[in-house]
Amino acid sequence: MRPRTTDSSRAFTRRQAIAAAAGPFLAAAAPPGTDSNPAAVSAARCASYGEAVTPVLRKMFEQLGGIGPLVAGKTVAIKINMESPLRERTGFRPAWYSRWTHPDVIRAAVVLFAEAGAKRIRILESSCEDDHPLEENFILGGWDPEKILKAAPNVEMENTAGLGYGKRYHRIEVKGKPYIYPGFDVNHSYVECDVMVSMAKLKEHRILGLALTMENMLGITPVTIYGESAGYEEPALRPYGRRTMFETGYRQPSEPSPKEVDPHSPREPGYRLPRVIADVLRARPVHLAILDGIETQTASETVTVEPELGRKIRLVQPGVLIAGWNPVATDAVGAAVMGYDPLADRPKPPFERADSFLRVAEEAGLGPRDLSKIALRGDPLKELRSAFREQR
């Protein structure tokens, strides 16, 4: 019997099949300079911080096809997660272990980006409390920033809550039909970069249900324009206050920043926040998403939780890292690891109080939330699951 032959122009590999199922929107989400599946996500066990993080993250990047084509010769911006308040702890545990991206994960990424040829690496976050240098806020949190700054050549930090080291704000515009805002004015750091990385904590959110790499990108918006103390006729000189306008629409951003496309749209946080997230991501695409789930907390993205939710904040140790090219796919895997169905929507957990931001983002063409359309790499998800809702 003659061996069976296959027409290579018609046959699909499993990787090609997943990419095709993920839909045409992934073409726009593909990481620049890579040939890897844009819906690929790697998840791996990492039991503790310290020296163990770098080899685990290195293997994950290899499973994604390598980060060299993405970062070599480029300026890489890493939006970390240091949710205010800066001085509060959860159960006397430093925020790095509960709410914030841990410095060991940041440092590991810096080392690996440098090894892959990154020209310049910038660590970014916007404080809702001050315009201090970001390095000073690391010190307030009890960590020496030099351990990150000296991990590779040309590593910098900037507090992007206002102008920072820039001289003016820069306009980024939503690609496609906007949900809430047609564009945003942001710190120079988010346009003067070649690669955008969102590095967040694996945690829950009081309104959105989950606070992962997509929600983390809300923090690129300057507090001087979108915070509670933002100016009206012009941005405030100094940042202070939460971005409550994103939740309730009680006012518009400072002049001359873009205003809402429909000021009569619902003012409910559970409607607005998922759509503002989709707008931000279509204006400032993410090329690599990383979730720190080694140690974290349940029930809230901050240090409090409303009594009516019937839950308490618990410190937990899922012992997992997750990374992917696409933030929607990465957050979908994060949701699954946390014990949730990424295809769920309001009012099912964890989306009791908001429309699913995963669904809204998928409908906006930002990426897939269906695990069957995601190329899963690394450890089996069933071995990594940690049911957050059971931690009451």
The secondary structure of 27-59 as a DSSP string is HHHSPTT--S-TTEEEEEE--SSSTTHHHHHHH
CA proximity to 360, closest of 242, 210, 199, 245: 210
What single-letter DSSP state applies at residue 19?
Answer: H
Indicate if the pLDDT at residue 99 is higher than 90.
yes
Distance (Å, whole) CA 343 – CA 46:
26
pLDDT of residue 22: 45
pLDDT of residue 36: 61
Q: Tell me the average pLDDT across 223-231.
A: 98
Indicate if the pLDDT at residue 72 is higher than 50.
yes
Q: Tell me the average pLDDT across 192-220.
A: 97
Instruction: Return all residues near 204 (Cβ < 8 A) that are at least 6 apart.
Output: 210, 211, 297, 298, 299, 300, 301, 338, 350, 388
pLDDT of residue 19: 43
| 27 — pLDDT class (breaks 50, 70, 90) | very low
| 9 — pLDDT class (breaks 50, 70, 90) | very low
pLDDT of residue 89: 87
Q: What are phi and psi of 289, to 5 degrees?
A: -120, 135
Supply the mean pLDDT for the chain. Answer: 91
CA 374 to chain centroid, in Å, comes to 18
Q: Where are the domains of the chain?
A: 22-390
Q: Tell me the average pLDDT across 50-55.
A: 97
Indicate if the pLDDT at residue 34 is higher than 60.
no
What single-letter DSSP state applies at residue 172?
Answer: E
Burial environment of residue 241 by CB neighbours within 10 A (0 to 12, 13 to 18, 19 or more): middle
| 391 — pLDDT class (breaks 50, 70, 90) | low
Q: Which residues pair with 316 in a beta bridge?
A: 296
Indicate if the pLDDT at residue 35 is higher than 50.
no
Distance (Å, whole) CA 74 – CA 68:
10
Relative orientation angle of helices 53-63 and 103-115, to the nearest 10 degrees: 50
Q: Tell me the average pLDDT across 364-388.
A: 97
Handedness of CA 298, 301, 304, 306 (dihedral sign): negative
Q: Coil, helix or strand for 336?
A: helix
Least confident of 13-17, 152-156, 228-232: 13-17
Indicate if the pLDDT at residue 110 is higher than 50.
yes
pLDDT of residue 88: 87
Q: Coil, helix or strand for 248?
A: helix
* Residues of the chain above pLDDT 90, percent: 84
Express each pLDDT in 246-296 by its tens digit: 999 999 999 999 999 999 999 999 999 999 999 999 999 999 999 999 999
CA proximity to 285, closest of 332, 322, 327, 243: 327
CB 349 within 8 A of CB 392: no
* Residues of the chain above pLDDT 70, percent: 90
Work out the number of other CB atoms within 10 angstroms of the CB of residue 149.
18
CB 90 within 8 A of CB 61: no
Q: Coil, helix or strand for 380?
A: coil
Burial environment of residue 141 by CB neighbours within 10 A (0 to 12, 13 to 18, 19 or more): middle
What single-letter DSSP state applies at residue 364?
Answer: T
Distance (Å, whole) CA 29 – CA 329:
11
Indicate if the pLDDT at residue 15 is higher than 50.
no
Q: Which residues pair with 256 in a beta bridge?
A: none
